Structure formats: C-alpha cells, structure tokens
C-alpha cells in the first residue's frame, strides 16, 4: 500500500494560482482566503517559495491550509482520518502532474517515495 509523504524540493503545492483552484472559497474561511491570495506571487507561485532551494521559507510557521494533517483535511474537505492517506496521494499526484507534467522527475520521485 502506498503511504503519503512530502517529497523535499518538489514545491508543486507552492504553485497557488487561484485560476487552478476556483473553489477556494468553499474550503477556506474568509480570513484564510485573504491570506492565501496575499501569498500568490509571480506566475502563481507562493511568495514564500524559494525557487533556488525549492523549499518553503516559512515551513515551520506555514498556514493551516498548507499542512497535510488529518484534522486539517477533515475540517477543510470533510475527509475522514482513515481516508487522508489516499486523498493526500491523489491531491499531490494531481498537483505535481499539473505543475510539472505526468512524466516529470517530480512525479517519478513522488511515486518512488510513496511506494508506487
């Protein structure tokens, strides 16, 4: 069974382009939506994403909506704890493929890391 994990120096989730996420207001509170939109920088990338190191500059203090945690996914998406692993894998695969492509090094690294 595949087990979700974040792959360092991927950054696909840091591509925040609101055009790719038209339903933001369905799972973010008004203050969270305002924060999210304030984080969108050039090309839709998060202003806190360091393109050189491909890491988050505020990782330990990142907002709730940037965290893959059972409680967050239950609150935001209504995903039950036992479904979080599969849901997170699907979300990551979709985002990585959308940002980098379905044959990218990033998707290959992700699939290997999670055991696919």
Residue-level pLDDT, tens digit, the chain, 116 residues: 899 999 999 999 999 999 999 999 999 999 999 999 999 999 999 999 999 999 999 999 999 999 999 999 999 999 999 999 999 999 999 999 999 999 999 999 999 999 98
Name the pTM for this structure. 0.92
**Backbone phi, psi, residue 50, to 5°:** -90, 110
Which helix (DSSP H) or strand (DSSP E) does residue 55 occupy?
Answer: strand 55-56
Per-residue confidence (pLDDT) for residue 1, from 0 to 100: 83
Contact 46, 58 (CB under 8 A): no
Q: By C-alpha distance, which of 92, 16, 6 is closest to 48? A: 16
The alpha carbon of residue 36 and the mean position of all alpha carbons in its chain are separated, in whole angstroms, by 12
Per-residue confidence (pLDDT) for residue 32, from 0 to 100: 97
């Amino acid at each position: 069974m595949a087990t979700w994990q974040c792959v360092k120096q991927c950054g696909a989730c840091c591509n925040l382009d609101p055009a790719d996420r038209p339903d933001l207001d369905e799972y973010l509170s008004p203050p969270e939506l305002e924060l999210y939109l304030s984080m969108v920088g050039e090309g839709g990338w998060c202003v806190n994403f360091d393109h050189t190191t491909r890491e988050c500059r505020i990782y330990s203090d990142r907002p709730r909506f940037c965290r893959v945690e059972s409680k967050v996914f239950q609150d935001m998406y209504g995903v039950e704890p036992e479904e979080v692993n599969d849901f997170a894998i699907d979300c990551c695969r979709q985002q990585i493929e959308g940002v980098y492509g379905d044959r990218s090094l990033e998707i290959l690294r992700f699939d290997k890391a999670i055991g696919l």
